[in-house]
Amino acid sequence: MTTLEYVLLGLLAREPLSGYDLAQQIKTRVAFFWRAQHGQIYPALARMERAGLVVYEFVAQAERPNKKIYRPTEAGIAALRAWLTTPVEIAPARDELVLRAYCIWLADRAGTIALFREHERLHRERLALYERNQGWMAREWGERVHDPNSPHFASYIAIERGIGSERAYAEWCGWVAAQLEQTAAANER
Amino acid sequence: MTTLEYVLLGLLAREPLSGYDLAQQIKTRVAFFWRAQHGQIYPALARMERAGLVVYEFVAQAERPNKKIYRPTEAGIAALRAWLTTPVEIAPARDELVLRAYCIWLADRAGTIALFREHERLHRERLALYERNQGWMAREWGERVHDPNSPHFASYIAIERGIGSERAYAEWCGWVAAQLEQTAAANER
DNA sequence: AGAGCCATGTAACCGGTTACATGATTAG
DNA sequence: CTAATCATGTAACCGGTTACATGGCTCT
């Protein structure tokens, strides 16, 4: 089983969805820790259906294309549960911006400052988005965001990771840009 | 050109190396933002050589296998320089541990706590490693770590990203584990 | 005797991305 | 009239991982 299949199971365990819905939810709700396009999702669902991890209900629609609403089987939930506490490899991220940093001594100064300031902005933007999102959860879901048996708790702690990640990244970008600006200013004097 | 080719150019711009050396350096020096095995590196070097971005000197050795020491050509350096300030996509990381968190409401409590405490430990270990590494740079290289024209500055700011990243990750793992432990304790009362 | 390092290369495989394909409905 | 949304599927491609292949030297 691929990790994507567990992502799909995890989403379907919350609510039954079509392949199209899954693609949307991955884009909007879990994009900060996973991504997948429909070209990958549909074959995965077919595999999982054959393996008995999910079943679908065919829904004929008049004014839109027909669709298949998938939900996990008991075997699917059991497979997900069993997988959840198995060891996780820390996947060393491939980060192009850190690569630029590692080669920064060769680069054009002004262009580099612009690049890092731009990324600082992007990450602060995301940070604000995630914080608004978490605030909404707290308001909307109340105490359930602290109940480990609720999916709302799960959403809450996951987005907390997004927030910490973006904050640390934005701060680093700003710190790098500031260092470059400082020495640029010193040289002009 | 693939990103790996720029990684290799970036390393070769610092000092000429063999394919084997490059694999070692990627494992030891830049693993926190990139990785690659020799099965990918050798074909990449051959492509770059054909494209005129690098040249190699053949070194015959008596007691070890012969090797090829690569160094970038002027065209190679120019290509790297030009690429360094081009826009960077923020690649949404695929993070399996956050996926576990997102499904945590289905998981076994004790196993989950163990998983997150283990990752907290792993990230604190890496954090300590990177901090020692940065400390060594500061002692060994002195003022050069603040000179944007020096590769030492580049190494210094890159590892700073590793430090910030690991610290934020470890803190999140600890925070998640603490939340789970808290409610586990409350239920026992 | 066997494991591990140095050193280079190829081949099979696999996950993921992008593009191709279809087609009705709705909003600008 | 055009673009976007809903909805599903396949095929080509590409980057990256793992395994196959070779072979001498050194250390335990």
Quick check: A164 and B165 CB within 8 A? no
Q: What is the pLDDT of residue A189?
A: 62
Residues 6+ apart with CB under 8 A from A91: B93, B94, B95, B96
B3 CA – C19 C1', rounded, Å: 23
CB A16 within 8 A of CB A69: yes
B39 CA – C8 C1', rounded, Å: 10
CB B173 within 8 A of CB B117: yes
How far apart CA A33 and CA B124 sit, in angstroms, is 21
To the nearest whole Å, the CA of B162 is away from the closest chain A CA by 9
Write the secondary structure of B3-58 as one string of H (helix), E (strand) and C (coil). Answer: HHHHHHHHHHHHCCECHHHHHHHHHHCCCCCCCCCHHHHHHHHHHHHHCCCEEEEE
- Is the pTM higher than 0.85? The answer reads yes
To the nearest whole Å, the CA of A61 is away from the closest chain B CA by 32
CB B11 within 8 A of CB B45: no
Instruction: Give just the sign of the alpha carbon dihedral B106, B108, B109, B114.
Output: negative
Question: How do beta strands B54-59 and A67-72 pair?
Answer: unpaired
Quick check: A84 and B100 CB within 8 A? yes
pLDDT bucket at A93, cuts 50 / 70 / 90: confident
Selecting from B31, B108, B160 the residue whose C-beta is nearest the C-beta of A92 gives B31
How far apart CA A30 and CA A61 sit, in angstroms, is 28
**Neighboring chain B residues of A122 at a CB cutoff of 8 Å:** 90
B74 pLDDT exceeds 90?
Answer: yes
Residue B72 bridge partners (DSSP): B54
B189 pLDDT exceeds 70?
Answer: no
Alpha helices by DSSP H, listed for chain B, are: 3-14, 19-28, 38-50, 74-84, 96-102, 109-141, 151-188
pLDDT bucket at B157, cuts 50 / 70 / 90: very high
Residues 6+ apart with CB under 8 A from A82: none
A53 pLDDT exceeds 90?
Answer: yes
Residue B54 bridge partners (DSSP): B72
A116 pLDDT exceeds 70?
Answer: yes
Q: What is the pLDDT of residue A144?
A: 97
Burial class (CB in 10 A: 0-12, 13-18, 19+), A71: middle
Any strand D atom closer than 7 Å to A123 CB: no
Any strand C atom closer than 7 Å to A87 CB: no
Residues 22-61 (B) near nucleic chain D, CB < 7 A: 35-40
Share of chain A above pLDDT 90, in %: 94
B65 CA – D23 C1', rounded, Å: 9
pLDDT bucket at B184, cuts 50 / 70 / 90: confident
Look-up of token digits 């020491």: B69
Q: What is the pLDDT of residue A185?
A: 74
**Neighboring chain A residues of B107 at a CB cutoff of 8 Å:** 81, 84-85
Q: What is the pLDDT of residue A187?
A: 74
A5 CA – C22 C1', rounded, Å: 27
Which pLDDT tens digit goes with each residue over B11-63?
999 999 999 999 999 999 999 999 999 999 999 999 999 999 999 999 999 88
Residue A57 bridge partners (DSSP): A69
Burial class (CB in 10 A: 0-12, 13-18, 19+), B50: exposed
Average pLDDT for chain B: 96
pLDDT bucket at A82, cuts 50 / 70 / 90: very high
Quick check: B105 and A31 CB within 8 A? no
Q: At what angle do helices B151-188 and A151-188 cross, to 10 degrees?
A: 160
- Burial readout B101-133 (b: 16 or more C-beta within 10 A, e: otherwise): bbbbbbbebeebbebbbebbebbbebbeebbeb
How far apart CA A34 and CA A122 sit, in angstroms, is 18
Quick check: B91 and A91 CB within 8 A? no
Residues 40-59 (A) near nucleic chain D, CB < 7 A: 42-43, 45-46
CB B43 within 8 A of CB A115: no
Any strand C atom closer than 7 Å to A4 CB: yes
pLDDT bucket at A121, cuts 50 / 70 / 90: very high
Q: What is the CA radius of gyration of chain A?
A: 22
Q: What is the DSSP string of A87-103?
A: ---------HHHHHHHT
